[in-house]
Amino acid sequence: MQTIRKILKNNKGATAIEYGLIAALIAVAAIATMTTLGTNLNKTFSNVSSNINKAG
């Protein structure tokens, strides 16, 4: 019975899983942000390139 109680009291595994989930959520948010930022930068540089070509 004491072994079962120790297993039930052990929260290290649950804490590690929680930290893993938080890290995964942060990674997903960072990837989404970087993708959006990359798309916007690509549009901006395309506009600049077009305007330079029109002026030249």
pLDDT tens digit sequence for 44-53: 999 999 999 9
Question: What pLDDT is recorded for position 7?
Answer: 65
Question: How many folded domains does the chain comprise?
Answer: 1
Residue 21 has pLDDT above 80, yes or no: yes
The model's confidence at residue 14, banded by pLDDT at 50, 70 and 90, is: confident
User: How many Å apart are CA 37 and CA 46, to the nearest integer?
Assistant: 14
Question: What's the pLDDT score for residue 44?
Answer: 96
- Residue 14 is part of which domain span? 1-55
